[in-house]
Each structure stands twice: as structure tokens, then as C-alpha cells.
Amino acid sequence: MIRKATRADRPRISEVRLAVRENQLSAASVSKVETTADWIFENATFWVWEEAGAVQGFAVADPRDGTIFGLFIHPDYEGRGLGRALLPRACEDLRAAGFAAATLTTGPGTRAERFYRENGWEETGRKDDGEIIFRKPL
């Protein structure tokens, strides 16, 4: 079931985020992610996939800058279409905020890179650290 997250989901959302095998957070990034998540919980929407009584994946957009802030699926639930179901919800939030396109970044050579390419996202450049910048019209 896809639904909007509540504050009660926050611990499990963090568990899912920290359980991923790729795109793991560095110690330096944790506080930045937490600060942004605080703002999103107050002002935007986390979309979650709930199954077996718990959140198993989430997607979230940041309507301040038109980015997909996160799309993460618990490793036990990968390959089941959760990402394909959740990502459009986050993109719709950006469209409703007035953006004509969404952007996101991900590491090269990852499953995430393949996922975004297969789902119509176009590479528009690279960051200094090598991360791929993707864009998709909304």
C-alpha cells in the first residue's frame, strides 16, 4: 500500500535508508540528511510503501529546489516494483510545486543509475565527485 508517511514512520524510514547496499550515507552526510528530512516532514510529503506491517520503501521530493531527495527500498523488497510505484508520487509533488522537470543525482555504475535510465531519466552532467545528474520532464 502506498500512503503518505506520518511522523510515526520516521524511525522505519531511517532504518530503510540505512539498510541500503548502495548509496550509503557517510558520517558527514547524516546530519545534512536529517536536517533536510526535518524540513520535508514539516513542509512536504514522504511517500511510503507499507507491506507486512512496516514501511519497506519511500520516495520523497524537495519542492524547494525541484529535486528527488530520495528513493530507497529495503533490500528485502528490491526488485518488486516498489520504486516504479513510489517515484511518480514524488515527481507529482514537484509538478504541483510548479516545476516542469525533476532532477536527482546518483552514483555511476549503480543499480540506481540503471533504474533511472530505464525509466526515462536523462543524464545532463556530472558533479565534481562523479555523481550523475539526471533530469526528467514532469
Q: Residue 30: give its domain's CATH number.
A: 3.40.630.30
Q: Is residue 118 part of a domain?
A: no
pTM, two decimal places: 0.88
Q: Is residue 94 part of a domain?
A: yes
Q: Is residue 38 part of a domain?
A: yes
Overall domain count for the chain = 1
Q: Which of 25-34, 39-48, 57-66, 109-118 has the lowest mean pLDDT?
A: 25-34
Q: Is the pLDDT of residue 24 over 70?
A: no
Structural domain span for residue 75: 2-98
CA–CA dist 32, 94 (Å, integer): 21
Residue 59: closest CA among 25, 21, 27, 102: 102
- What pLDDT was estimated at residue 35? 74
- What pLDDT was estimated at residue 65? 94
